[in-house]
Structure 1
């Protein structure tokens, strides 16, 4: 068996979620008994990216493809490249992380290969047998796929990062033609000194109960500073304009699994729980004793967040 993992890159550097995808590939290989794991490092000026991929334990070969059209990881160009590799190198599985980039690329790959994709895999039982959530995480489904090429997206929080210490060979291949179907006009990136939300060990999130964006900043930012935490929010808080979209945690936002998750003024709608229920410890602060968030919380504080959050922050001084 031969497995291809699509490495996600940003500004020429390996995105950490790719390490989770490689770990998933290792589990798929182990279930098969014997399999080679290759990693595609596509981008522009990719020497550093290829070196990072080659240093991951368990990787047999890194396929380096360097061209300007791959710099922005546009789906149209990456897709045609991957499909050509699958056909010429006879891969039986293609894996990528279930990120915005991965979810943009993988359905196109599956469509061009005329196979059914399995999305958001959280556990690999064997080749063609996987566990994935449905109904916003209310049900964990064991599904089977008999496709000749297994196209999978894997939830990064469900798999550990692959270890470093590898020494894979690097094979440089010629780039394909630019599809010319899309181009990147620009990016608007929010900059912060805080940890990255999707990988932070501690997350402090606020919901509709915060009342306003000013309250969110006044109450939660000092608490996050004390804890060295990332800031998150429910969809209700984002829709109300309290915080930007990239703060959103949930089914339609970011999936997080920190060591500690503080939910402040969040009722606990199922869409939000789908994005944070894998946290090791959940602490909820809410004035409503019947709020659904208390059903999943390890610790709950019932009361006015305007009083409890400053008290908690002061206790951490």
Structure 2
């Protein structure tokens, strides 16, 4: 019996870490059905790992024209399954997941809760709001309530399950569907994805220029095998690209190690990274609010300290 559907996050034939978090969060609702949507052949290599993570049933929803359709294959698959056997649906929060959730809510006439940090057995869910200053619990209606789970909010806890596999035919595209005629995938650099990185080095207004991001922030990230992030101020000033912005209007990260360079610690930024396991802050203002949540705070000039730190790290490799 399906007690919850989880939309599997995958890329280039591999599961993304968010999938384990989604399966863990959904398990409180009962037996979890994992739904893999993609081009033909994408689901089969993921079956064993999905079962080890807790998928009782795995649906492979594949279509030859998957790459030519935007969002709709995921919406169609989850809608068809939930219309036949109603159950809660859990997807990853973000631009992609939130659009899927909204479309599903309209089709299924069910409620939707976005950016939740925990799902409860009674189908309510917890939100962390106002820069994570408050936690609230919200109820949701409908036979198939929909949740988008904040990345990094739940610690993955694998619980092996049967992993029974079912092929599922995606509904055919209609004449009204948007069709992608040209697709240029984003170029993946050598650094890990920002939202999945175990180490994040972030720069703020105190970095002072795009050139200093290249000579200070990026080299430190590379020395530690981490990703680069930025504050809204740094992005607004043109120091770094918008897709690397961390905070309320950017992405949320939850690395093992976060290092902030030249960042004051405004709540707009800290709300997107304060769940990091270890927080290190370097700032020349000893009264910067960032020091209040730091595990280690260094009062000093990032232009002097960062090169020395990079040098020392490289010596120890």
Q: Do Structure 1 and Structure 2 share a fold, with TM-score over 0.5?
A: yes
What is the 5 A alignment of 1:1-317?
A: 2-26=3-27, 28-29=28-29, 35-45=30-40, 46-48=42-44, 50-51=46-47, 54-71=50-67, 74-88=70-84, 90-163=85-158, 166-179=161-174, 180-184=176-180, 185-316=182-313, 317=315
Secondary structure of 2:52 counterpart: coil
Secondary structure at the counterpart of residue 198 of structure 1: coil
4+ runs of 1 displaced by more than 3 Å?
A: 47-50, 52-57, 164-167
SS at match of 1:163: coil
8 Å CA contact retained: 1:4, 1:37: yes
Distance, in Å, in 2 between the alignment partners of 1:238 and 1:312 is 24
Aligned partner of 1:32 in structure 2 is none
User: Partners in 2 of 1:207 and 1:152 — Cα distance?
Assistant: 32
Bigger shift: 77-86 or 205-214? 77-86
Indicate how the Cα distance of structure 1 residues 274 and 228 shifts in structure 2: closer, same or farther if over 3 A, else same.
Answer: same
Confirm or deny: 8 A CA contact 2:69 2:178 kept in the other structure.
no
Preserved contact between residue 63 and residue 170 of structure 2 (Cα < 8 Å)? yes
Measured after TM superposition, the shift of residue 218 of structure 1 is 0.6
C-alpha distance in 1 between matches for 2:200 and 2:288: 20
Supply the distance in 1 between the matched residues of 2:279 and 2:269 (Cα, whole angstroms). 13
Cα distance between partner residues in 2 of 1:109 and 1:49: 27
1:68–1:292 CA distance, 2 compared to 1 (3 A)? farther
Q: CA, structure 1 residues 243+105, in 2 after alignment: closer, same or farther (shift >3 Å)? A: same
Task: Tell me which moved more, 39-48 or 69-78.
Answer: 69-78
Give the number of equivalent residue pairs. 310
Identify unmatched segments of 5+ residues in structure 2. Answer: none
Aligned-pair RMSD on alpha carbons? 2.2
Bigger mean CA deviation after superposition, 41-50 or 147-156:
41-50
Q: Taking structure 1 as reference, are residues 207 and 87 closer, same or farther at Cα in structure 2, changes over 3 Å only?
A: same
The SS at the match of 1:22 is: helix
Write the deviation string for residues 229-270 of structure 1: whole angstroms up to 9, x where unpaired.
Answer: 221111222222222223221122221111111010112221
TM score, norm. by length of structure 1? 0.89
